[in-house]
Amino acid sequence: MEGLTPTGVDERQRTARLSVVAAVALVAIKLTAGAFSGSLGLVAEAAHSATDFVAALLTLFAVRVAVRPADREHHYGHGKAEHLAALAESAVLGLVSLVIGAESLRRLVESSPAQVDVRWWTLAVIVVVIGIDLARAIASARAARRLESAALASNALHFASDLAGSVAVLIGLALVRAGHQKADAIAALFVAVLVVIAAVRLARRSIDVLMDRASTEAEDAVRAALAPLPVEVRRVRVRHAAGFDFVDLVIAVAPDVAVGQAHAVADSVEEAVHRTLGRSDVVVHVEPRALEGPLRERVTAAAQTVADVREIHNVRVIRTGDAYELSLHVKLPPGQPLEQAHEVVSRLEAAIRGAVPEVRDIHTHMEPLADTDWARRPTPREVADQAAVIDDVVERLTGSPPIAVRFRDAEAGRILLLDIALAGEQPLRVAHRRAGEVEEAVRQQCPELVDVIVHTEPAREDEPDAPAGSDGSGGSGGSGGSDARAGD
């Protein structure tokens, strides 16, 4: 998860400290002017600024706490401290608004309202206050947008309401000076209403964050960003705190995708979310997609999900009415006790039934993994003639000798693992067709081979072809044994 840079942290704290200083100055100015003039509007504005002083102190505390990194007790960081502070500010604002509103109504219903002495310096004070409110509202709003700070955004909202309240008080005092004494109480009541509106908006926004209310805009943006990727988006959960989006995703991929491939897909999903939402912490859970396709392929895919199953073969499907019966051979570790082997096979059958519900009965034949399966490497003397024939076939069809020729004795017979070099710039379909031609020619010349697996690699013009007796390092068909070739 990304954090704020030291510059961003310092700017938040500097903005919060300036807010504290400005709030103290405004409280002193408004309270002094209100006391000398008897203006309830100025006193209300002083109280409003006093709440801003408390808010600024809470903001200063919040931004110092919120920037702390995640620790053992706070795995998601301390970003919600800002929203806790903002909620406390809204409670203070609401309480003050009730007091101001009650006093304003009392003055309005009195037959002889309190006299307000409006001098020129009273109006000058309120004009200065308006200038200060305007400057700090703009500064806090810019900092809040740049730093994505909930606490600074709440401060900007307070300062904007201060500005509106100060303008209302100025109008009220001007009317009082013109002979309308109740105008001051009306201005004070207007300030109280502004405070209530600000408190409700701030509380609602803070509660949404603290209660992890889902953001439909963020969820829609995430789904749109993932639409081009080869994944099925099953669940998106997004919550926001202190400028961060915490995203939990559940995606589905093809059931035959390897672990490494699934991890790469998850990485691409995270990158897409980061590009869309910016500062975000993303957790991706990967699930297999529902099995599809022909019945045999679905059976094989289901078997791959069961631990300890080494191989299945001889899969036979028999249709009986509206259902199917299935028989197969399954290879398991040779030293495994029968009890454990039976438990593995039971899990295999359960996995197949879940993936292929149309199968009614499953007949499983258990076999130990043979010691000869991909284990014994024939000696060069055993395959000298075969290797010479293969060399001739590959050089005739590709123009260069094979990179590597390896043989393995499996249970069904001898298997050839053949690596050849082809021109790297040719299309894959052409290379595949050439590899098929090589395979077919080898099968015709060496019919005793039960299988021929051809691996193709791009030829390197800057390096000489591998000599006939060397073991290529790039082959995909073996596991590092010596070449079984003529001349070794």
pLDDT at 7 exceeding the cut of 70: no
The predicted model gives 430-437 an average pLDDT of 89
Higher pLDDT, 146 or 282: 282
- The whole-number pLDDT of residue 227 equals 86
The confidence score (pLDDT) of residue 371 equals 52
Confidence of residue 437 (pLDDT cuts 50, 70, 90): very high
- Cα–Cα nearest to 366, from 390, 385, 346, 351: 346
Question: Of 196, 191, 193, nearest to 30 (Cα)?
Answer: 191
Which pLDDT does position 55 carry in this prediction? Answer: 64
pLDDT(95) > 90? no
Pick the range with the lowest mean pLDDT from 165-179, 184-198, 456-470. Answer: 456-470
Largest CA distance in the chain: 123
pTM above 0.85, yes or no: no
Is the pLDDT confidence value at 321 over 90?
no
Nearest Cα residue to 97 out of 195, 200, 211, 14: 195
pLDDT band, very low/low/confident/very high, at 441 (cuts 50, 70, 90): very high
Q: How confident is the model at residue 303 (pLDDT cuts 50, 70, 90)?
A: confident
266 pLDDT higher than 60: yes
The pLDDT tens digits of the residues spanning 11-33 come to: 556 666 776 777 787 778 777 77
Please give the pLDDT value at position 428.
84
Q: What is the dihedral of CA 382, 388, 394, 400, to 10 degrees?
A: 120
